[in-house]
Amino acid sequence: MSHPGTLILIMAMAVLAPLLAYAVGRRLTVPVAVFEIVLGVVIGPDVLGWARPDTVIDTLSSLGLSMLIFLAGYEIEFAAVRGDTLRRAVGAWAVALAVALAIAFALTGAQATKSFVIGTALTSTALGAVLPLLRDADLLRGRFGTVVMAFGAVGEFGPVIAISLLLSGRAPGVATALLVAFAAVTAVAVFWALRPRPPWFAGVVAKTLHSSGQFAVRYVMLLLASMLGLSAAFGLDTLLGAFAAGLLTRLVLRGAGPEAGAEVLGRIEAMGFGFLVPVFFIVTGIGFDLSALLDGGRPLALLPVFLLLFLLVRGGPTWLLAPRDLSRRERTALTLYSSTCLPLVVAITTIGTDDGVLASGEAAALVGAAMLSVLAFPLLALKALGGRRAGPSSPAAGASETW
Q: 14-22+31-388 in CATH: which number?
A: 1.20.1530.20
Kindly report, residue by residue over 63-120, the tens digit of the pLDDT.
888 888 888 778 776 666 667 888 898 899 999 999 999 998 888 887 888 888 888 8
Q: Position 325: which residue type? A: D
Query: What average pLDDT does range 191-210 have in this prediction?
Result: 76
Of 167, 186, 163, nearest to 344 (Cα)? Answer: 163
- pLDDT(393) > 50: no
Q: Give the global pTM.
A: 0.77
Chain segment 235-292, per-residue pLDDT in tens: 777 778 888 888 888 877 776 655 677 788 888 888 888 898 899 889 888 888 788 7
Contact between 32 and 21 (Cβ < 8 Å) = yes
Please state, in angstroms and rounded to a whole number, the distance separating the CA atoms of residues 90 and 96: 10
**Which has the closest alpha carbon to 264: 197, 209, 207?**
209
Task: Report which DSSP code applies to 50.
Answer: -
In this prediction, residue 39 has a pLDDT band, given cuts at 50, 70 and 90, of very high
Residue 403 has pLDDT above 50, yes or no: no
Which residues have C-beta within 8 Å of that of residue 90, sequence separation ≥ 6? 154, 158
pLDDT over 90 at 308, yes or no? yes
Q: b/e map of 41-55 (b: 16 or more CB within 10 Å)?
A: bbbbbbbeeebebee
Q: Which amino acid is at 215?
A: F
Check residue 223 and give its pLDDT. 87
The CA-atom distances, in angstroms, between 32 and each of 73, 81, 316 are 20, 27, 28
Closest CA to 396 of 311, 321, 334, 315: 334
Rounded distance between C-alpha atoms, residue 9 and residue 99, angstroms: 42
Determine phi and psi for 163, rounding to 5 degrees.
-60, -45
What pLDDT, on the 0 to 100 scale, is given for residue 317?
94
The pLDDT of residue 307 is: 93
**Mean pLDDT of the residues in the chain:** 81
- DSSP-assigned letters across all residues of 234-297: TT--HHHHHHHHHHHHHHHHHHT-HHHHHHHHHHHHHHIIIIIHHHHHHHHHHT--HHHHHT-S
How far apart, in whole angstroms, are the C-alpha atoms of residue 305 and residue 337? 19
The mean per-residue pLDDT over the stretch 319-325 comes to: 89
Nearest residue to 167 (alpha-carbon basis) of 361, 363, 347, 352? 352
**CB burial class (10 A; 0-12, 13-18, 19+) of residue 187?**
exposed
Q: What is the CB neighbour count within 10 angstroms for residue 342?
A: 26
Task: Sketch the domain layout of the chain as residue ranges.
Answer: 14-22+31-388
Which residue type sits at 78?
Answer: F
How far CA 280 is from CA of 50, 132, 273, in Å, comes to 17, 20, 10
Give the whole-angstrom CA distance, residue 93 versus residue 74. Answer: 20
